[in-house]
Amino acid sequence: MIAINGRTLVRRAAIPVSSRNGTITRNISNILNYSKTNGGDRVRLVEVGPRDGLQNEAVTVPTDTKVEFINRLSKCGFPVIEATSFVSPKWIPQLSDNKEVMNRIIRESGTSYSVLVPNAKGLQAAVDSRSTHMFLGCSPSESFTKRNVNATVADSLVQCKALVDAGKKLGIYTRGYVSTVIGCPYEGPIKPKAVAELAAKLYEMGCDEISLGDTIGVGTAGTFNKLLTEVLSAVPVSLLALHCHDTYGQALVNILVGLEAGIRTVDSSVAGLGGCPYAKGASGNVATEDVVYLLDGLGLETGVDVNGVTDVGQWICGELRRNNASATANAIIAKRKS
């Protein structure tokens, strides 16, 4: 048994933790040359649709639909799927059926099902649901942190450290999310140095991976270049991931900047589903279909079939009664009908 903040956690299973492999690569001017010389011709896609995509939907999504959604995505070859969140239903009512979803999904070999863990209670729920991957959230913005987790940035890091320590003892792979890395809906532009310092703290406390999130989608190639210049001085590129929202239509451009810097993990959401309940103005995530099409064109492997993902995107959009936000998916569907 493991204690965290006075709460005792019960170990359910021993789960191997992925190793930290890769080298620090900076100032890469050509994606393809980098891929050829460093063996980095494969990009790891993290599908966030079931969690980040559905949490902001106005209409309650039935549990059966969530389970079917994840099961369909599991057939597409994603190495990681963000399945749900163990945040209190008071704050994220859309995902209040988290335990049932995790108990009912069909888990495919080769796919990890990650869950958001905010505290010790959430970690115990993750352990009970046989989760092998968890992710934690933080932000350099005091205002965003207060609204998101009702704490200061410093206090949120203390909580993160406790969760990372407990997760390691339980054998759980831990991802640290840094939100509002470019701009905050309450404080405006965020200094790259502040993001780098926060990412460095997550790295030092032992996070296996750190995702940089442009939560409100205000980033550009210029601001992402400045951001990564700072962050790469503090954290190995092999540990970094990008999480881009497409509010101003710049997500793919920003991902290209990350690829040029050597980042090889990208978050995306099928059909561009998503938003953030604590960030006014945050639109959907970059669409998985668009990212796969981009990467296919660059000759970078993902193991994900764009046609299969398009089918899943069309299905979930039908269930949610909303339009598909992926330009690639809409083009593929139009071509099928012609």
Q: Which residues are catalytic?
A: 276
| Encoded tokens for 256 | 């290209």
CA separation, residue 245 to residues 52, 213, 217, 269, 280 (Å): 11, 8, 4, 10, 13
Asked if residues 300 and 35 have their Cβ atoms less than 8 Å apart, the reply is yes
| Encoded tokens for 177 | 């999310």
Residue in 321, 252, 256, 241 with CA at minimum distance from that of residue 288: 252
| Encoded tokens for 108 | 């495919």
User: Given the structure tokens 């929202």, which residue do they identify?
Assistant: 245
The pair phi, psi for residue 246, each rounded to 5°, is -110, 35
User: Which amino acid, 224?
Assistant: F
Q: Which of helix, strand or coil describes residue 68?
A: helix
Asked if residues 244 and 254 have their Cβ atoms less than 8 Å apart, the reply is yes
DSSP code, position 95: G
User: Which amino acid, 43?
Assistant: V
